[in-house]
Structure 1
Amino acid sequence: MQHSQTPVVKDLVLVGGGHSHVTVLKRFGMKPMPGVRLTLICRDVHTPYSGMLPGLIAGHYGYDDAHIDLGPLSRFAGARFYHDEVIGLDLTNRRIRCRHRPDISYDLLSINIGSTPGLASVPGADKFVVPVKPINNFVQRWEQLAARVMETQAAMRIGVVGAGAGGVELTLAVQYRLQALLREAGRTGSELEFHLFSASDMILPTHNRLVQRKFMQVLNQRGVQMHANFRVAAVHEDGICSTDGQVFALGETLWVTDASAPAWLAESGLSVDEQGFIAVNDALQSVSHPDVFAAGDIAAVLNHPREKSGVFAVRQGRPLEANLRRVLLDQAPRPFHPQAKWLALISTGDQYAVASRGKFYLAGRAVWAWKDWIDRRFMRKYNELPEMAEEEAPEIAQGLAGEQVLKEISAMAMRCGGCGAKVGSTVLHRVLDRVQPHERDDVLVGLKHPDDSAVVHVPSEKVMVHTVDFFRAIVDDPYLFGKIAANHSLGDIFAMGAEAQTALAIATVPYGLESKVEDVLAQMLLGAEEVLHDAGAALVGGHSSEGVELSLGFAINGLADPQDYLRKGGMKPGDRLILTKPLGTGTLFAADMRLHAKGRWIVGALAAMLQSNREAAECLRRYHATACTDVTGFGLLGHLVEMTKASDVDAELYLSQIPFLDGAQETVQAGIFSSLQPQNIRLRRAVRDLDRVAAAPAYPLLFDPQTAGGLLASLPAEDVDDCLAELKALGYQEAAVIGTIQAPSTHVEPIAVIL
């Protein structure tokens, strides 16, 4: 995480990772605005560049070539990245509703989410077509279509509805790639038919006649059948029919027409045009709500109507960023006038392209090379980021804060330590009113009582299990961090076979305005409470304070049967070792801090950390686990050494069987390690034949410290297969048998790593 001593004065929230917003993020990273907290909310971690989609489909680009990774870009911009989908707005209270998390507050909002397919007006379209937008969804569906074509030997008709530039490009790209795949498999590709449907009597209606003529020539040469004046009235599982009764059988229908907007924009009260797009003025500012901006396909610039095209979204990026800064400083935004003519470079799928601008026309492979150079240069701007600047002394941009806010900021410099650092009681009470702790009959005095301590009943037949964990935030999203911190803290309880009973929270929130402190604390505790509730633990109190960085921990109390709890000692020769989650969070988040981790790697790591160990622990106990621990800060090897020492045994560890998170081996091979790695690696003295083992590429991951890691347990050999099958059925898909317990030997080193 990036940390700053500058208090947050205003929240700028970007919804969507479209072409305009990536420019805003990059420029805020190059020139931060002290006192502004930037947040990006996006459903996808990798945002596709529409200009390279045909090349991606045709096979000329890989996935990473054609996608901007929003993870490193957000970190470079100093932005919190919330991986979620927005489903509504409360414009009165300036709050954003998301599908999977609590509402998010904003002072200024910008929306750049692109358009969605307009399927509602055509019966059956929502069920039986493959829409090209959202592009990320289309890429997944395209891969399924390609697999289906390769698997079947039967003839197939593929239809594309929409004969603008996007529809024509997509038709030719899909045809080129599928026929290439079939030829590679020794087939002719003659079993495929391609049909292009246009509602008008022409293709590419916004381009000049030379461009139209050229593409008609290409379509004819490639055997694509053109159907003009075909207005689709309905879509069926096996084809489409037109408004004048024509019926056409198709095996797959791709939809590249009728862009629309999600319904929640109009439902929120924003002024929209007839298609539901946000109505904005020349400054890209909502005509109904001045604290909302919009750009790209989702925006309808009332005075300058244009077709939905990525070129306009790219051009809107700089003026959008400038106007957001101006409004944050209480200055009037400036109008932006889009170009009347624009250059379009339209590809034919086979590294040949046509240039179109007004009456200008040019075609050839050199045009493709030109387009490729432009596209790759654009992508480098956002995927090859400069080194992050050092943090400077706290300051507030001139004009950002009013007199009253400046007084409050001035008071922050005099904040006390000790009890004077506590979060204010008013803020705390408001936050606690939003948190609904899990209720237990054995909690006699808890969070909702005014007393100084919690009072909890301990059943006479149980023993208490106590643990505490506390650490700095590793993600910029306080809601997700709350979930991770609670999951991590509960791990010790589950590893010992105990039931979580109560939790006390210890929270540190960065200095800020009262409303900002309240929002962060509430988001963090709401996330934690969801995890605690799922575990059956009651949040009964805690302590909160202000500090430099966001931190959270929990003291957890659990209950266990005095005759039936698990410990690290207890492993027996012949037992098998099971690991329930993959390794790699330490190196991945170290890489994320340096902008060297792909967004999808971090999404995978977060998914692992958010998975509870509760069901895994119950499963391991059902299959007679003899010892157990959770893999956390000391890494797999450190925790295994603790277990072998406590059990007086040796162990064989199968390096090739250990599961690793996607990207973890790449980052350690790049020399990126957690700051705790050097301390953990001192335990290499516990490994036999170290010179041979240390050369293995995955060897450093044995020492990688984990946050909210999985369980490491020993089980009798006869139970391990059934246990592993049940773990996978419970959702622990990466669970694996990674070793065997051996009788103590004469070796000084208890661990033998088998490559």
Structure 2
Amino acid sequence: MENQRPIEKELVLIGGGHSHAIALRNFAMNPLPGVRITLISEQSNTPYSGMLPGHVAGHYTYEECHIDLRRLATAAQAQLYVDRAIGLDLDRNQVNCAGHPPVRFDILSIDIGSTPELPDVPGILDYSVPVKPWRFFLHQWQQVIDRVSQHPNQPISIGVVGGGAGGVELVLTIQHQLQQILQAAGQPLANLTMHLFHRGARVMTGHNARIRNRFQQILIQQGIHLHLKKTVLQVQKGKVFCESGFQVECDTIFWVTRASAPIWPQQSGIATDERGFIQVQPTLQSVSHPHIFAAGDIAAMVASPRPKAGVFAVRQGKPLAENLRRLLQGNKLQIYKPQSKFLSLISTGDRKAIMSWGALPLGNESAWLWRWKDAIDRKFMDQFREFLEMGPDVELPAENSIPMQCTGCGSKVGSPILEKTLSRLHQDYPPLRQDILVGLGGADDAAVVEVPPGQVMVHTLDYFRSLINDPFIFGQIAAHHSLSDLFAMGAEPQSALAMATLPYGSDQSLQETLYHLLAGATKVLQQAGAELVGGHTTEGAELAFGLACNGLIDRKGILSKHGIQPEQVLILTKPLGTGLIFAAAMRQQTRNLWIDSALQSMLQSNQAATQCFLEYQATACTDITGFGLIGHLSEMLRSSPIHVQLNLNSIPAMPGVAEIISQNIHSSLYPQNLKAGHWVANQDQFQTHPLWPLLFDPQTSGGLLATVPMEHASECLEDLEKVGYRQSSIIGKTVPMQPQTSSSRQQPIIIH
């Protein structure tokens, strides 16, 4: 706490482009005291454009050409919101997002790149794939690879629209990768047909004549069908229609035309050029709003216009970080002067490249040029990889420390902050239930709820530190986790009280954090039919949150965990592994794909699973949370004369779990949970099994475990999958306990 400083200003970065990645690294190495950084990015990995053609050609793996934004944000002590910005409210200084509440900023920077300019062509959005955003293109590209790999004997035709440098490089790298697959399968290269459509008379617009001529020769030599002076007028499934009635059959069509800007910056009122790119001064500030910066393709440098090229985004990263820092600290900004010419090393797909440098008459491809390009690109990526592996070694000076904070009730968040936050929450999430007699709408000391005749109230409480630096998502996860106890008992959620610890900060920062946190929880509560009726807040060193949830249930309809019976199956609705994945994340030994998968699971409600289990006459149910599968299963068996035969291979696991276990990484609660292993009769046989630790892994917002009569098992599992629990699985069955000694009674679980 001595080395912390309360949050005073909000710096928001929209987009995870090259400039912002470099800026985040800069902030991680030299933190901004009193500034909270929030990165809003549509994905948790950002691609490096210089290596993507090589990735398409098969020369680089996905990890080699992507920057891990989640780890980079963590190193910079920044929040990461995986979301899409859709607009700006410049009167309130807020970013409007597709899936989050508005995000307030004092200083804003935009680095969202560009997308191919798509003409008003019928069928273009339905039957073609723009090369940007890259994640959508790479998803479609992987489908093409899978098709050719699985059916190499079937002919396939690929079309690329756009004969600039990007289109030419893409068509050559696509051809190289697919030909490699065909050769490995012993199939003729003639099974692949490549088409390049370009409305100009020569390819490689913007480069000198020798470069254009050489690439055109290469395309022809490679057997690529080059359609020049052909403007695409319509796209149908499997077919491209050009002017003059020219038609070409293509199974997949990729669109790589000149760069265009998304429409929302222009609609927000910030100054843009005629094509919608944000106009910036030499300081990279907006010409109309000096507290807003832009870099990369989305920026249009008014004083020194430059083409849309990744080299400028890379070069702008350092001056952008410096000017953001200077503006936040009240210092004079620096002028950024882009170079007038830039070097291009353009891949020909086959580990060769051609160099383009202004008007110089270069034009021969060579392997050494590709190796040079490879070295440059790897050096760029190494600055992030090596930095993240070592971790930033920073410490804030003592003069930035937080002043002494009171304890007891003096540590509460102030009344004005609560009033403003709850007023906004009440406006955005109006009450739904009629049985909340006193809730957030009043200033009473406690909430009052009504319990209908014949029903009883079910109570549960959960509270824990944040496992992700996004309070809106964390609020949702915490609400799902807390409500699961009610769902496990078959109860209908009614109300909830919130408990929040907020990081020290200014009134505005506290209000922003609290609103996002409560908005996430309220969203989940109302989806479940419940209301947030009050709570308690305090300030502390780190974000923590929890809910005390109440539910209603018929006195005779309580679904207990002790109702387990013989001749039943055990069904688990979600995969296991959240404890392992976030333990690995703390050690920087995980992948964003694994974290994203875990978050997706934690954000899934267990409510629909409860209804499904009740429909198929489940007799016992519990949710798998902190004590792990064996711990919670043992609770079900404590007072039941039942044996459970558990099929270890049927237990669903999250992506990455096996690799994490192999590195001997476990949650801090794992050693305590492991003590429940004495419930397993044949634990000696399975203690060396690769997935043995998974049985004791603590889960956050885990799935439900229920026992269902065997005659209903298949139908129940089928319906669970229909309502979204696609990894639900029958993991075992119950059998009557045979007469045994009292000592063996303590080992009712048998693993197969």
Shift in Å, 1:459: 1.9
Equivalent residues in 2 for 1:175-214, closer than 5 Å: 175-214=175-214
Aligned to 2:661: 668
Aligned to 1:406: none
Shift in Å, 1:204: 1.9
Asked if 1:416 corresponds to 2:419, the answer is no
Structure 1 280/520 Cα, relative in aligned 2: closer, same or farther at 3 Å?
same
Shift in Å, 1:266: 0.2
Shift in Å, 1:648: 3.4
Q: 1:561 aligns with which of 541, 554, 557?
A: 554
Q: For 2:546, what is the secondary structure of its paired residue?
A: strand
Asked if 1:286 corresponds to 2:283, the answer is no
CA contact (8 A) 1:568 1:646 kept: no
1:156-190 CA distance string (max 9 Å, x none): 54332222221111111111222232333342131
1:49-106 CA distance string (max 9 Å, x none): 2112222222222222222222212112211110110000011211000001100011
Q: In the aligned structure 2, how far is the partner of 1:640 from the partner of 1:494?
A: 17
Equivalent residues in 2 for 1:421-500, closer than 5 Å: 421-435=411-425, 436=429, 438-500=431-493
Aligned to 1:88: 87
What is the letter of the counterpart of residue 344 of structure 2? Answer: A
Q: In the aligned structure 2, how far is the partner of 1:173 from the partner of 1:560?
A: 61
Q: In the aligned structure 2, how far is the partner of 1:127 from the partner of 1:620?
A: 39
Shift in Å, 1:210: 3.6
Q: In the aligned structure 2, how far is the partner of 1:158 from the partner of 1:561?
A: 61
Q: 1:750 aligns with which of 728, 747, 750?
A: 747
Q: In the aligned structure 2, how far is the partner of 1:31 from the partner of 1:100?
A: 31
What is the letter of the counterpart of residue 620 of structure 1? Answer: F
Aligned to 2:33: 34
CA contact (8 A) 2:3 2:398 kept: no
Shift in Å, 1:3: 12
Structure 1 98/185 Cα, relative in aligned 2: closer, same or farther at 3 Å?
same
Q: In the aligned structure 2, how far is the partner of 1:4 from the partner of 1:738?
A: 49
Q: In the aligned structure 2, how far is the partner of 1:754 from the partner of 1:370?
A: 56
Shift in Å, 1:381: 2.3
Q: In the aligned structure 2, how far is the partner of 1:237 from the partner of 1:728?
A: 31
Aligned to 1:10: 9
Shift in Å, 1:372: 2.2
Q: For 1:51, what is the secondary structure of its paired residue?
A: coil
Structure 1 3/371 Cα, relative in aligned 2: closer, same or farther at 3 Å?
farther
Shift in Å, 1:472: 1.1
Tell me the TM-score normalised to structure 1 length: 0.94
CA contact (8 A) 1:501 1:536 kept: yes
Aligned to 1:109: 108
Shift in Å, 1:112: 0.9
What is the letter of the counterpart of residue 488 of structure 1? Answer: H
Equivalent residues in 2 for 1:187-586, closer than 5 Å: 187-237=187-237, 239-242=239-242, 245=244, 247-251=246-250, 252-358=252-358, 359=360, 360=362, 363-384=365-386, 385-389=388-392, 392=395, 413-435=403-425, 436=429, 438-586=431-579
Q: In the aligned structure 1, how far is the partner of 2:632 from the partner of 2:99?
A: 34
Q: For 1:190, what is the secondary structure of its paired residue?
A: helix
Q: In the aligned structure 2, how far is the partner of 1:317 from the partner of 1:451?
A: 52
What is the letter of the counterpart of residue 208 of structure 1? Answer: N
CA contact (8 A) 1:437 1:539 kept: no
Q: For 1:74, what is the secondary structure of its paired residue?
A: helix
Structure 1 297/433 Cα, relative in aligned 2: closer, same or farther at 3 Å?
same
Q: In the aligned structure 2, how far is the partner of 1:121 from the partner of 1:276?
A: 17
Q: For 2:60, what is the secondary structure of its paired residue?
A: coil
Q: In the aligned structure 2, how far is the partner of 1:751 from the partner of 1:377?
A: 57
CA contact (8 A) 2:643 2:750 kept: no
Q: For 2:51, what is the secondary structure of its paired residue?
A: helix
Q: In the aligned structure 2, how far is the partner of 1:666 from the partner of 1:529?
A: 36
Q: Which moved more, 1:78-87 or 1:447-456?
A: 447-456
Q: In the aligned structure 1, how far is the partner of 2:728 from the partner of 2:198?
A: 51
Q: For 2:300, what is the secondary structure of its paired residue?
A: strand
Q: Percent identity?
A: 48
Shift in Å, 1:300: 1.0
Structure 1 391/200 Cα, relative in aligned 2: closer, same or farther at 3 Å?
closer
Equivalent residues in 2 for 1:724-735, closer than 5 Å: 724-735=717-728
CA contact (8 A) 1:42 1:82 kept: yes
Q: For 2:390, what is the secondary structure of its paired residue?
A: coil
1:586-642 CA distance string (max 9 Å, x none): 111112222222112111111111111111111111111121111111111111111
CA contact (8 A) 2:461 2:547 kept: yes
Tell me the TM-score normalised to structure 2 length: 0.94
Q: In the aligned structure 2, how far is the partner of 1:601 from the partner of 1:530?
A: 25
Structure 1 564/236 Cα, relative in aligned 2: closer, same or farther at 3 Å?
closer
Shift in Å, 1:194: 2.2
CA contact (8 A) 1:641 1:750 kept: no
Q: In the aligned structure 2, how far is the partner of 1:744 from the partner of 1:389?
A: 57
Shift in Å, 1:570: 1.7
CA contact (8 A) 2:118 2:257 kept: no
Aligned to 2:600: 607
1:467-526 CA distance string (max 9 Å, x none): 111111111111111111111111111101111111111111122101110110111001
What is the letter of the counterpart of residue 207 of structure 1? Answer: H
Q: Considering only aligned residues, what root-mean-square deviation do their CA atoms show, in Å? A: 2.2
Structure 1 192/558 Cα, relative in aligned 2: closer, same or farther at 3 Å?
same
Q: How many residues align?
A: 740
5+ residue gaps, structure 1, are: 398-408
1:533-585 CA distance string (max 9 Å, x none): 11111221111122222111111111111112111212122221111111111
Q: In the aligned structure 1, how far is the partner of 2:683 from the partner of 2:515?
A: 48
Q: Which moved more, 1:116-125 or 1:305-314?
A: 116-125
Equivalent residues in 2 for 1:685-700, closer than 5 Å: 685-700=678-693
Shift in Å, 1:455: 1.6
Q: In the aligned structure 2, how far is the partner of 1:541 from the partner of 1:160?
A: 57
Q: In the aligned structure 1, how far is the partner of 2:389 from the partner of 2:522?
A: 38
What is the letter of the counterpart of residue 390 of structure 2? Answer: E
Q: In the aligned structure 2, how far is the partner of 1:569 from the partner of 1:125?
A: 58
1:325-366 CA distance string (max 9 Å, x none): 111112232111112222211111112222222315553122
What is the letter of the counterpart of residue 424 of structure 2? Answer: R
Q: Which moved more, 1:32-41 or 1:354-363?
A: 354-363
Q: In the aligned structure 1, how far is the partner of 2:151 from the partner of 2:547?
A: 52
CA contact (8 A) 1:75 1:593 kept: no
Q: Which moved more, 1:618-627 or 1:375-384?
A: 375-384
Equivalent residues in 2 for 1:641-720, closer than 5 Å: 641-720=634-713
What is the letter of the counterpart of residue 134 of structure 1? Answer: P
Q: In the aligned structure 2, how far is the partner of 1:138 from the partner of 1:744?
A: 56
CA contact (8 A) 2:628 2:696 kept: yes
Q: In the aligned structure 2, how far is the partner of 1:574 from the partner of 1:394?
A: 65
What is the letter of the counterpart of residue 578 of structure 1? Answer: I
Q: For 1:469, what is the secondary structure of its paired residue?
A: strand
